[in-house]
A = this chain, B = another copy of it.
Amino acid sequence: MIEIVSQKTRISEGKEGIRRILREIYRNEQIGTKELAYITKLPVPVVAAVRAELEKIGLISRKRGAVLTEDGKKYVEDVLGFEVKKSLICPLCHGRKIIIKDEFQEVLKKMKKYADLRPKPYTWLDQAFCTPETSVLRALFMLEEGDVEGREIIFLGDDDLTSIATGLLKVSKKITVIDVDERLLELINKISEHEGISIECIHHDLRNPLPKKLIDRFDVTFTDPPYTITGMKLFVSRGIDALKKKKCASIYLSFAHKPPEDMLNLQVAISEMGLFIREMIPKFNRYEGAEIFANTTFLAKLETTEKTRPSIHGRFDGKIYTGEVSPTMRIYKCRCGRVIKVGVSGEFKTIEELKTYGCPECGRKEGFKLTERKRLFFSEEKY
């Protein structure tokens, strides 16, 4: 049964992906698509497509969120063996290891205020703003790891204002931010002056090598790069250039939970730069309005070794943004009002396919109106 749904939806995670979705519907009893995507770390369009298929075969129904039908409940209990509904995840830190103690609530309060000042995300730069809590947790995570006190820290891209959260801890030696978006640098500069935390802001496109004065100068790198493997390689390579040459220097990397083959390629790319993963926390970062990566990404702490080398040198002209490497999803509207997603992970792969099978609601085979195009990213491997 789940094999069929997996094939129909071409979900990169295969049968296991379908099982994960069913398990969370079972555990949560009634759950919306966004929350389901977040919990399973799968893109919202993927979850929506799976949900539609599961509905079609009668395993779930839709009552303010996905709910298992009687048949569905029987299937997941008898065939898949589900039984336990409670989550075992720590209710205090929600699996993020770090908590925001009382003395840092003031920092959080400020970050909530400053978050509202962020300019509208430039999606073509893969900007997506994380929650103020996430920025503070990132700063505290680095602090706990010994990477804020007395440290010189460089942020490669900082649409999340994590540099501000870090600066507000007032224990670092130096904070530098590089970004290609001048709007963000202006904002960071303004807040930094207001708070007296003297963050150095440098306007720079990381496709160009770092300015000489930034080479070999930092203890710590933080980056939330474009979510393509090449984007990660480029940003982390620049991060390596910025670090003082020593073992066990930290590079904090936020990145999307990608499909299995991409995760593998990502980690091969990390190893190839002579870095290893010290720690990896799924769903550490939460975002708003970033459905394509389920509004959540992981945080990894990478460390340098004697073999650490950048994999990209000099000017880089390849594709780094998701819009450059991934296809789009087209949203059609049928005359009956039904919204239909067409694309690699849509209900239909192509408009031809839709016209062949007809609208899932009314059966019409023509007269679909294109209402929207959405950028996707799933497996880079597939394209």
Residues 83-108 of A, flagged 1 when their CB comes within 8 A of B and 0 if not, give 11011111111011111010100000
**CB of A140 closer than 8 Å to a CB of B:** yes
Q: Which residues of B contact A143 (CB under 8 A)?
A: 84, 88
Among A83, A146, A275, the one with the most B-chain Cβ atoms within 10 Å of its Cβ is A146
Contact present for A171 and B16 (CB under 8 Å): no
Report B-chain residues with C-beta under 8 Å of the C-beta of A140: 88
> A93-B92, A143-B88, A261-B305 in contact; A150/B82 too (CB < 8 A)?
yes
Stretch from A210-218, A246-254, A340-348, A353-361 forming part of the interface with B? A246-254
Report chain B residues within 8 Å CB of A79. 150
B84, B141, B264, B275: the one within 8 Å of A171 (CB): B84
Task: Find out whether the CB atom of A86 lies under 8 angstroms from the CB atom of B101.
Answer: yes
State whether the Cβ of A209 lies closer than 8 Å to any Cβ in chain B.
Answer: no
Contact B93 A98 (CB under 8 A): no
Give the contacting residue for A264; candidates B89, B103, B271; CB below 8 A.
Answer: B271
Instruction: Choose among A15, A103, A280 the residue with the greatest number of B CB atoms under 10 Å from its CB.
Output: A280
In Å, the complex CA distance between A103 and B140 comes to 32
* CB-CB under 8 A for A90 and B88, given A81-B150, A82-B149: no
Contact status B97-A16, CB under 8 Å: no
Cβ of A149 and Cβ of B84 under 8 Å apart? yes
A277: contacting residue among B84, B92, B173, B277, CB under 8 A: B277
Is A73 an interface residue when CB atoms closer than 8 A count as contact? no
Q: Which residue of B lies closest to A82 (CB)?
A: B149
Query: A82-B149, A267-B267 are contacts. A282–B275 as well, Cβ < 8 Å?
Result: no
Q: Return 26 A-B CB contacts under 8 Å, by A number.
A: A12-B247, A13-B248, A15-B247, A16-B247, A81-B150, A81-B151, A82-B149, A83-B149, A86-B103, A88-B101, A88-B144, A90-B92, A90-B93, A90-B98, A93-B93, A93-B95, A93-B97, A248-B260, A260-B276, A260-B304, A260-B306, A261-B306, A263-B278, A264-B307, A267-B270, A278-B280
